[in-house]
Structure 1
């Protein structure tokens, strides 16, 4: 039976047979009140309170008994595990691809452990979350802090699911998730893209056509195979990418683990045909997702290095892409990577009257709302988009399956 024990006094029978309280040998030493109760697992549990805190002990006992009746009881000792110990278990059991696991591990260990690592889960309060985020403002961009905050919230949400915490401190009303100020997308002009293409080695020029004409991500271009091209019907399938995991190149699914089909403009198809005629695809064998896996996949790649290897993104950016961008009179930066070609593709489709939903599917976005937030100002009927200078080539190509006077989801080769 649950009760509160006063460890500073014992109750004995007095000379008159009536109960009498006498000081115990613990009187004045340590915590005075101990709440003893039986947990849902049938085992006895307890929590101690200091002198003059009997009301707190009584309130705790009422809460415990109420939680047991509601089925929401959480053992107070369950939250005593250190954040780092619990987070390591979360990292080990969290379902994610290996590249995501690697980047998540790096962020959690670099930015969460220094502040939360030695704290007990149950001792983490909303004030700690606010203080932690404030401490990072001068060192990290809001977009990076937002990602790390999501990791922290996910770990603490898992602790709630595991009944180690009653609630997630990140969900408190007083805690505000960091949010980056959206950067306004300004697509390159056709002449700028042409200049970048001219600055690339011949073997890499069609990369610009595939990125700007079909909206593929960099890793998807590097993992692109002739098997993914349907020249007859005018479509390409995006089913894989090349990425680096733990310093090794691997094949993997596209971002969001979602394959897709994208319309193939005639000019892009011509560029791919010419490229593959002059440089036949090279079959490359790499691990699938996990660099330590014995699972190997062989794929004929359209683009590969002059040493007949799959393309390493970091090397390509540093030695090939950035010099080409600079040669076009554009300052190389994070915003001028190959990803910028996707903005040109999006701009062309929106100019042609394509819907946001279709554009999101072609770009491989998981949420059309995200696509709308990024590109709404480029829509022809938007207040900011109306009357803006054209960012694409003046001639839109004919795309198979589209009438000559209807919206065409493609751009001419630049």
Structure 2
């Protein structure tokens, strides 16, 4: 069945031969004449709305664009999402962060290409993008990952749109997935102390660096005696990367950048005891393994044994020891600006979203303070 649209717009149809083509799952085919008057066909449109929307775009483009430009754009629009993404990725020269580049590659290879890779750019519309987000949600992709994946897809599609592959913005009106961080689970002090007793020496030192100095797992795996720059200051210079298994720059920092964090006496003494017993590498690293460095895999095996021997505590994981640092700092009145800097967060907003429920200030306390100020003023 073919439905003819307004004169000059073209037509759309299905050639599947199904008894009820409007209800069958087969895609629609559109036919139209390009700016040079040549008959063209495109397929892969899931609904009549998709087909009509694309024909409308083509008709508007033909009316407003020079034939040579329209032909070049049409050729670009014939590229698949996968092929364009492969061309787009090497052009992102400012993407110097290894982990960021890795996450972009993962978004493209694991999520975007399998779901949208074969679709031609000129057939990608906001409806198609909405379906992409629905598929991720139905497949159980976490909201945090959805946010990052959609950010990559939007960058790719907007780049193609800017070059004329589509007549209209393919993500116009599409709302970003909303990531609402759940309240983090924080172990009590007695749990942290018990963990330090139960853990083997390597893991115990990592836990001490996380709970006492607020380091991330990878940063704690890179604990180094040369980073003790004062009796009470530890300089965080690098991490042992989860994928390369080698030292790498800090998250949210450029190569060579560092941050300095408080070094409690008990943590410094733990470093000194470990060094006295086990020594260090020639570069000052304390934790090490067969490949030279203490890796995530080595940590994971020890963590598995650790939690078997600890009393059950809901939602507590290894990262909980870093959360404990934030809880201890904020609960004792240390400004959140300092905590954000020490923990290496990209912005204070991240610290606030994650730990605002731990801050000692509250409405009741604020009311008392403001009341006192009002009476004094009177």
State the TM bucket, normalised to the shorter chain: 0.7 to 0.9
- Out of 346, 370, 373, the position equivalent to 2:353 is 373
Checking the alignment, whether the CA contact within 8 Å between 1:280 and 1:302 is kept in structure 2 is: yes
Alignment of 1:196-345 (within 5 A): 196-232=195-231, 234-245=232-243, 248-258=244-254, 259-283=258-282, 299-305=283-289, 307=290, 309-317=292-300, 319-330=301-312, 335-345=315-325
Query: 1:47 offset after TM fit, Å?
Result: 6.8
Q: Go from structure 1 to structure 2 and tell me whether the alpha carbon gap of 1:353 and 1:103 turns closer, same or farther (over 3 Å shift).
A: same
Partner of 2:47: none
Checking the alignment, whether the CA contact within 8 Å between 1:187 and 1:343 is kept in structure 2 is: yes
Query: 1:128 offset after TM fit, Å?
Result: 0.5
Q: Go from structure 1 to structure 2 and tell me whether the alpha carbon gap of 1:61 and 1:203 turns closer, same or farther (over 3 Å shift).
A: closer
Query: 1:129 offset after TM fit, Å?
Result: 0.8
Checking the alignment, whether the CA contact within 8 Å between 2:222 and 2:240 is kept in structure 1 is: yes
Partner of 1:193: 192
Query: 1:117 offset after TM fit, Å?
Result: 0.8
Alignment of 1:50-65 (within 5 A): 59-64=60-65
Checking the alignment, whether the CA contact within 8 Å between 2:58 and 2:167 is kept in structure 1 is: no
Whole-Å separation in 2 of the counterparts to 1:224 and 1:163: 51
Could you list the runs of 5+ residues in structure 1 that have no partner in the other structure? Answer: 1-5, 7-29, 37-45, 284-298, 387-414
Partner of 2:338: 358
Checking the alignment, whether the CA contact within 8 Å between 1:217 and 1:339 is kept in structure 2 is: yes
Whole-Å separation in 2 of the counterparts to 1:385 and 1:117: 55
Q: Go from structure 1 to structure 2 and tell me whether the alpha carbon gap of 1:273 and 1:57 turns closer, same or farther (over 3 Å shift).
A: closer
Query: 1:104 offset after TM fit, Å?
Result: 3.1
Could you list the runs of 5+ residues in structure 2 that have no partner in the other structure? Answer: 1-7, 9-29, 42-55, 367-378
Q: Whose helix fraction is larger, Structure 1's or Structure 2's? A: 2
Q: Go from structure 1 to structure 2 and tell me whether the alpha carbon gap of 1:349 and 1:62 turns closer, same or farther (over 3 Å shift).
A: same
Whole-Å separation in 2 of the counterparts to 1:360 and 1:100: 21
Q: Go from structure 1 to structure 2 and tell me whether the alpha carbon gap of 1:264 and 1:145 turns closer, same or farther (over 3 Å shift).
A: same
> Higher relative contact order at CA 8 Å, sep ≥6: structure 1 or structure 2?
1
Query: 1:364 offset after TM fit, Å?
Result: 0.5
Query: 1:32 offset after TM fit, Å?
Result: 8.2
Checking the alignment, whether the CA contact within 8 Å between 1:225 and 1:302 is kept in structure 2 is: yes
Checking the alignment, whether the CA contact within 8 Å between 1:325 and 1:336 is kept in structure 2 is: no
Partner of 1:92: 90
Whole-Å separation in 2 of the counterparts to 1:191 and 1:385: 28
Whole-Å separation in 1 of the counterparts to 2:203 and 2:31: 74
Q: Go from structure 1 to structure 2 and tell me whether the alpha carbon gap of 1:196 and 1:35 turns closer, same or farther (over 3 Å shift).
A: same
Whole-Å separation in 2 of the counterparts to 1:208 and 1:338: 8
Query: 1:361 offset after TM fit, Å?
Result: 0.7
Whole-Å separation in 1 of the counterparts to 2:168 and 2:260: 42
Query: 1:229 offset after TM fit, Å?
Result: 0.9
Q: Whose strand fraction is larger, Structure 1's or Structure 2's? A: 1
- The superposition leaves residues 315-372 of structure 1 with CA deviations (integer Å, 9 ceiling, x where unpaired) of 321x21122123121368xx53322111111111112222222211111011111111
Q: Go from structure 1 to structure 2 and tell me whether the alpha carbon gap of 1:47 and 1:363 turns closer, same or farther (over 3 Å shift).
A: farther
Partner of 1:123: 123
Q: Go from structure 1 to structure 2 and tell me whether the alpha carbon gap of 1:164 and 1:357 turns closer, same or farther (over 3 Å shift).
A: farther
Alignment of 1:71-150 (within 5 A): 75-94=73-92, 95-140=95-140, 141-150=142-151
Q: Go from structure 1 to structure 2 and tell me whether the alpha carbon gap of 1:208 and 1:145 turns closer, same or farther (over 3 Å shift).
A: same
Mean alpha-carbon deviation: is it higher for 124-133 or for 353-362?
Answer: 353-362
Query: 1:380 offset after TM fit, Å?
Result: 0.5
Secondary structure at the counterpart of residue 301 of structure 1: coil
Mean alpha-carbon deviation: is it higher for 145-154 or for 189-198?
Answer: 145-154
Query: 1:31 offset after TM fit, Å?
Result: 7.4
Whole-Å separation in 2 of the counterparts to 1:56 and 1:89: 25
Q: TM-score, normalised by structure 1?
A: 0.68
Partner of 1:42: none
- The superposition leaves residues 231-253 of structure 1 with CA deviations (integer Å, 9 ceiling, x where unpaired) of 34x211111111133xx422210
Whole-Å separation in 2 of the counterparts to 1:59 and 1:381: 58
Whole-Å separation in 2 of the counterparts to 1:33 and 1:75: 14
Whole-Å separation in 1 of the counterparts to 2:286 and 2:57: 71
Secondary structure at the counterpart of residue 261 of structure 2: strand
Checking the alignment, whether the CA contact within 8 Å between 2:246 and 2:293 is kept in structure 1 is: no
Checking the alignment, whether the CA contact within 8 Å between 1:157 and 1:168 is kept in structure 2 is: yes
RMSD: 3.3
Q: Go from structure 1 to structure 2 and tell me whether the alpha carbon gap of 1:121 and 1:199 turns closer, same or farther (over 3 Å shift).
A: same
Whole-Å separation in 2 of the counterparts to 1:383 and 1:204: 40
Q: Go from structure 1 to structure 2 and tell me whether the alpha carbon gap of 1:203 and 1:223 turns closer, same or farther (over 3 Å shift).
A: closer
